[in-house]
Structure 1
């Protein structure tokens, strides 16, 4: 089963480090992380918005991740 949270990030991004910490405090290691710099399409799409967090395939947050909002989103059943 796919993780409900997908986290788009890049190396050397301090906001990504902060967001990763919040995500891990909520879901542990049950999330997928994608380095946008490994895919030209993702790099073009997200370059100015990382980190970007998706829940159940839908964009949830970018730049900052709210622990409360993430917990609330995950409390709802997947669509």
Structure 2
């Protein structure tokens, strides 16, 4: 299995998060439960990235897996 992140989406995933709750973002792009981890990274060097919501609001999780601000979108998908 390749250890290169798969572009799951060329747009971010808008998710309503709850303050204090942990979310595990898929960093490999293989998860069927995007933008979250479903364990599909097993056998690769990828691990999910924990994001703890500071406040309840809508956040935009990176879908292209190339963001410098992972797990959140920084607009990198616009250059793909």
Query: TM-score w.r.t. structure 1 length?
Result: 0.29
Hey, which of these two has a bigger chunk of helix by percent? Answer: 1
